[in-house]
Structure 1
Amino acid sequence: MATVLIVGAGPTGLTLACSLARQGVQVRIVEKSPRFHRSSRGKALNARSLEVLADLGLGARLLASGRTHLRFRKYFAGEFVAETDPFADSRPTPDAPYDSGLFLPQWRVEELLREQLAEYGVKVELGVELVDLTQDEDGVTALLADGGRIAADYLVGCDGGRGPVRKRLGVAFEGTSDPEQAMVCGDVEVSGLDRDVWHQWFGPEGAVLLCPFEGTDMWQFQAVPERDAEGRLVEPSLESFQRLFDRYAGLPGIRLSNATWLSTWRVNVRMADRYRVGRVFLAGDAAHVHPIAGGLGMNTGIQDAWNLGWKLAYVLTGRSGPGLLDSYQEERLPIAAWTLDVTAAALTAVMESARTPGAGLHAARITDGSGLGIGYRWSTLSDDRLGGTLQAGDRAPDAPVLAADGTPVRLFDLYAGGHFTLLSFGCGLPDLDGPVRGFAVGAGPGSLTDLDGHARRAYGVSEDAVVLVRPDNHVALTVPAAEAGAVRAYLNALGH
Structure 2
Amino acid sequence: MDCATISDENGGAPGVLIIGSGSTGLALAQGLTKAGIQCIVFEKNPTQHRERDWNMGLHWGAPVLKSLIPQEWWEQIQSLQVDPHVPTKDEDTLNFLNGATGEHMTGFTFGPFYRLRRSKLRALLSQNLDIRYDKKLTGISYSEDGSSVTAHFADGTTTTGKMLVGADGARSATRKLLLGPTLGAINRLPYGATFVQTKFSREQALFLRKFHPLFLGAAHPSNYFAFFGMQDAAEADRPETWTFFFYISWRYSLQEQDATAHWTDAQRLQQVKELSKGFADPWKSAFEWTPDDNPVWYLGLTDWDPGVEGHRWSNYGGRVTMVGDAVHPMTYQRGQGLNHSITDAGKLTAAIQAVSGEEDGAKRAEIITAFENEMIARGGEEVRTSTTNTGMLHDWESVMKSPVMTAGLKKGGE
TM category (shorter chain) comes to 0.7 to 0.9
Structure 2 vs 1, CA of residues 65 and 222 (structure 1 numbering), >3 Å: closer, same or farther?
Answer: same
**Alpha-carbon distance, 1:197 to partner:** 4.6
Structure 1 position 126 matched with structure 2 position 133: yes
Q: In the aligned structure 2, how far is the partner of 1:345 from the partner of 1:127?
A: 37
Structure 1 position 348 matched with structure 2 position 371: no
- For residue 267 of structure 1, what is the amino acid of its counterpart? T
**Alpha-carbon distance, 1:26 to partner:** 1.1
Equivalent runs, 1:46-195 vs 2, <5 Å: 46-47=59-60, 49-55=61-67, 56=69, 57=71, 58-66=73-81, 69=92, 71-72=94-95, 74-77=97-100, 79-82=101-104, 86-87=108-109, 90=110, 99-115=111-127, 118=128, 122-136=129-143, 137-170=146-179, 173=183, 177-191=187-201, 192=204, 193-195=207-209
Out of 294, 306, 312, which is 1:273 matched to?
A: 312
Give 1:460's aligned residue.
none
More strand by share: 1
Q: In the aligned structure 2, how far is the partner of 1:40 from the partner of 1:266?
A: 18
* TM-score scaled by length of structure 1: 0.62
**Alpha-carbon distance, 1:50 to partner:** 0.8
Q: In the aligned structure 2, how far is the partner of 1:146 from the partner of 1:86?
A: 50
More helix by share: 2
Q: In the aligned structure 2, how far is the partner of 1:291 from the partner of 1:26?
A: 33
- For residue 284 of structure 1, what is the amino acid of its counterpart? G
Tell me, yes or no, if the aligned pair for 1:158 and 1:286 is still in contact at 8 Å.
yes
- For residue 50 of structure 1, what is the amino acid of its counterpart? A
| 3-state DSSP of counterpart to 2:76 | helix
Structure 1 position 237 matched with structure 2 position 265: yes
Q: In the aligned structure 1, how far is the partner of 2:214 from the partner of 2:391?
A: 25
Structure 1 position 210 matched with structure 2 position 228: yes
Equivalent runs, 1:471-490 vs 2, <5 Å: none
- For residue 265 of structure 1, what is the amino acid of its counterpart? G
Q: Give unpaired runs (5+ residues) of structure 1.
A: 91-98, 375-496
Structure 1 position 43 matched with structure 2 position 68: no
- For residue 194 of structure 1, what is the amino acid of its counterpart? L
**Alpha-carbon distance, 1:65 to partner:** 2.9
Structure 2 vs 1, CA of residues 305 and 75 (structure 1 numbering), >3 Å: closer, same or farther?
Answer: same
Structure 2 vs 1, CA of residues 84 and 180 (structure 1 numbering), >3 Å: closer, same or farther?
Answer: closer
Q: In the aligned structure 2, how far is the partner of 1:125 from the partner of 1:215?
A: 31
Tell me, yes or no, if the aligned pair for 1:12 and 1:301 is still in contact at 8 Å.
yes
| 3-state DSSP of counterpart to 2:15 | strand
Structure 2 vs 1, CA of residues 72 and 245 (structure 1 numbering), >3 Å: closer, same or farther?
Answer: same
Structure 1 position 306 matched with structure 2 position 379: no
Aligned Cα root-mean-square deviation (Å) = 3.5
Give 1:24's aligned residue.
36
- For residue 167 of structure 1, what is the amino acid of its counterpart? K
Tell me, yes or no, if the aligned pair for 1:246 and 1:252 is still in contact at 8 Å.
no
Q: In the aligned structure 2, how far is the partner of 1:34 from the partner of 1:349?
A: 39
| Same amino acid, percent of matched pairs | 18
Query: 202-211 or 50-59: which moved more?
Result: 202-211
Tell me, yes or no, if the aligned pair for 1:41 and 1:105 is still in contact at 8 Å.
yes
Give 2:298's aligned residue.
263
Structure 1 position 2 matched with structure 2 position 19: no
Structure 2 vs 1, CA of residues 200 and 166 (structure 1 numbering), >3 Å: closer, same or farther?
Answer: closer
| CA offsets 1:27-82 (integer angstroms, 9 cap, x no match) | 100111122226344511122x11011222343222343255265362432x3212
Q: In the aligned structure 2, how far is the partner of 1:252 from the partner of 1:185?
A: 12
Q: In the aligned structure 1, how far is the partner of 2:301 from the partner of 2:107?
A: 28
Q: In the aligned structure 1, how far is the partner of 2:78 from the partner of 2:178?
A: 39
Q: In the aligned structure 2, how far is the partner of 1:253 from the partner of 1:340?
A: 30
| CA offsets 1:424-459 (integer angstroms, 9 cap, x no match) | xxxxxxxxxxxxxxxxxxxxxxxxxxxxxxxxxxxx
- For residue 229 of structure 2, what is the amino acid of its counterpart? C
| 3-state DSSP of counterpart to 1:39 | coil
* TM-score scaled by length of structure 2: 0.73
Give 2:245's aligned residue.
220
Q: Give unpaired runs (5+ residues) of structure 2.
A: 1-12, 82-87, 235-241
- For residue 228 of structure 2, what is the amino acid of its counterpart? L
| 3-state DSSP of counterpart to 2:372 | helix
**Alpha-carbon distance, 1:306 to partner:** 0.9
| CA offsets 1:68-118 (integer angstroms, 9 cap, x no match) | 5265362432x321286521xx5xxxxxxxx33211222222222123xx2
Structure 1 position 289 matched with structure 2 position 289: no
Structure 2 vs 1, CA of residues 326 and 275 (structure 1 numbering), >3 Å: closer, same or farther?
Answer: same
Q: In the aligned structure 1, how far is the partner of 2:252 from the partner of 2:264?
A: 11
Structure 2 vs 1, CA of residues 373 and 3 (structure 1 numbering), >3 Å: closer, same or farther?
Answer: farther
Q: In the aligned structure 2, how far is the partner of 1:175 from the partner of 1:233?
A: 21
- For residue 289 of structure 2, what is the amino acid of its counterpart? R
- State the structure with bigger RCO (CA 8 A, min sep 6), 1 or 2: 2
Structure 2 vs 1, CA of residues 360 and 219 (structure 1 numbering), >3 Å: closer, same or farther?
Answer: farther
- For residue 154 of structure 1, what is the amino acid of its counterpart? M
Tell me, yes or no, if the aligned pair for 1:42 and 1:298 is still in contact at 8 Å.
no
Query: Aligned pairs, how many?
Result: 353
Structure 2 vs 1, CA of residues 259 and 295 (structure 1 numbering), >3 Å: closer, same or farther?
Answer: farther
